[in-house]
Structure 1
């Protein structure tokens, strides 16, 4: 048996942890710092779980603040926002042990560098998750999509997938998370970043679901333009994505039109609740790679500014429009 502890009892952390707990029989604990969430889970003895807004039921889970947790897991699963990760790792640092592994499939890029400050490369497993989940509020999560329809990729940072990496793979497979093992670490992670740089960002700016987004006939051209910049930047940096340009464009269509048409991407969920978005770790990260290798990703840089402008402009939506009177 493998013991897991999930750092971040948000939408994705709960989905991974609950499914591993329910379908594999492994022990799963949760560590979180969002007080309303932790206190609500403790008060009701678990989390309410729905699937596509139906079958809402209580799932008992064990949650602690980092300072109160006394467990010693074999594997940490990390799902927190990029901008919150450094503080979370610092608070959890006294809990980390030499034998432990860590898995993370967070959106964007930047987390691996931070995690590497606490764990050796051969104990770090990175991944991606094409799995839609919504946190309705504290201790209330909604798994989007049919059971076992999601897909994810994973790879040890050393690109040598050892016994524990394969054990994590097997547990995720039994949990119905659809894991696919690769031997290309950065190419695996960046393949999800370039996808999010199209769907998450554009859906957020227009405040629409993925199915609404794909209705626009120009989406393929927009996706192709963004993907070409992403691939050009990655190739100059020596990063070879596990998907082709065409496959990534086709994935934008399939996931938006078929797999998750009613889903609001996680970036929009943050945006709509007045939280900062992770655009700097997605489009901004791609643009950063380009600049570092003498290539300017003009569209990604422009979109990064647009999202930040939209964040700033939220303050005006909260105010009634001033009445104007035409001068006579």
Structure 2
């Protein structure tokens, strides 16, 4: 199958390059950030390292939406939540979307599948989560974090039902790419599991501006994680959402993943450190909103959401 990546950022590059190099499939990249597109064209590809080592140029094909004439079987979408609606409008106006195409996304936070459903039918939307750390250090300059083969991801069909032929082939290609997909039936429980994880690690690392390995050195992390996770699990329980892990398994995952990705700054911090808005409203804020909708107040998540926004506001004084 042929793939098109919308959003040539950290994760877009990760998926596209690994599919192209490991699965030997054709991949086109679509991006709207001019410095990124022009840098790729200038240097003949994207500069890729793994854990800061063995940097090399990987040749890729990259396009602005308006100049793209290809027809991928599956679109792979990785944009920031705040940018997605405008991106999809521009891509649709450029004639990129067709009724026979599928779309996959493993973006952080919640809310993106509803936006994708405005352009794709439910049975052609593939939902994903990725426990895969990647840094975009500049235009066309990406760093894959973590050992080879350590990538973890889940995938589910938004419309439910038995996996379609395209879904099965996509999973095969993801396996060949060494992205290690696991098929699940419940997209909502799958996605909320990643949101709940990010609500601890991404947010707290951002608030204290630390790498995951530095964060986990504090002996109080399991207790902090438990406080945030208990609220999130209670909110999900009231909403009828069953998460993939038990509470204790999720606490253990915070510890294990923080050690495994010890040099990684989560994506929320990457945005914060560059003066961009964070996705906290789509992570901790989403959990807090879900709780309120079901007569449960997630006081810690509400407070943490305010703290991150306060930190965003205070940047102008530094």
| Whole-Å separation in 1 of the counterparts to 2:127 and 2:246 | 20
Alignment of 1:93-242 (within 5 A): 93=92, 94-160=95-161, 161-242=163-244
| Whole-Å separation in 2 of the counterparts to 1:190 and 1:158 | 17
Deviations 1:59-110 (A, max 9, x none): 0000111111111000000001000000000011121111100000000011
What do you get for the CA RMSD once the two structures are aligned?
Answer: 0.7
| Whole-Å separation in 2 of the counterparts to 1:11 and 1:180 | 22
1:89 maps to 2:102: no
- Residue number in structure 2 paired with 1:21: 20
Q: Is the 8 A contact 1:78 1:105 kept in 2?
A: yes
Following superposition, which runs of at least 4 residues in structure 1 exceed 3 angstroms of deviation?
none
Shift of 1:55: 0.6
Q: Is the 8 A contact 1:184 1:242 kept in 2?
A: no
Secondary structure at the aligned position of 1:200 is classed as: helix
- Residue number in structure 2 paired with 1:320: none
Alignment of 1:43-62 (within 5 A): 43-62=42-61
| Whole-Å separation in 2 of the counterparts to 1:194 and 1:241 | 9
| Whole-Å separation in 2 of the counterparts to 1:252 and 1:178 | 20
- Residue number in structure 1 paired with 2:77: 78
**Larger Rg computed on CA atoms:** 1
Secondary structure at the aligned position of 2:71 is classed as: coil
- Residue number in structure 2 paired with 1:4: 3
| Whole-Å separation in 2 of the counterparts to 1:118 and 1:237 | 27
| Whole-Å separation in 1 of the counterparts to 2:51 and 2:10 | 13
Q: Is the 8 A contact 1:82 1:278 kept in 2?
A: yes
| Whole-Å separation in 2 of the counterparts to 1:163 and 1:300 | 40
Q: Is the 8 A contact 1:190 1:241 kept in 2?
A: yes
| Whole-Å separation in 2 of the counterparts to 1:252 and 1:215 | 12
| Whole-Å separation in 2 of the counterparts to 1:163 and 1:188 | 21
TM-score, normalising length: structure 1 = 0.95
Secondary structure at the aligned position of 2:143 is classed as: strand
Shift of 1:45: 1.6
Shift of 1:159: 2.3
- Residue number in structure 2 paired with 1:322: none
Deviations 1:230-250 (A, max 9, x none): 111111111111111111111
| Whole-Å separation in 2 of the counterparts to 1:269 and 1:27 | 29
Q: Which runs of 5+ in 1 are unaligned?
A: 318-328
Shift of 1:309: 0.3
Aligned length: 315
Secondary structure at the aligned position of 1:95 is classed as: coil
Secondary structure at the aligned position of 1:291 is classed as: helix
- Residue number in structure 2 paired with 1:272: 273
| Whole-Å separation in 2 of the counterparts to 1:235 and 1:280 | 20
TM-score, normalising length: structure 2 = 0.98
| Whole-Å separation in 2 of the counterparts to 1:231 and 1:121 | 27
Deviates more, 1:159-168 or 1:303-312: 159-168
Secondary structure at the aligned position of 2:91 is classed as: helix
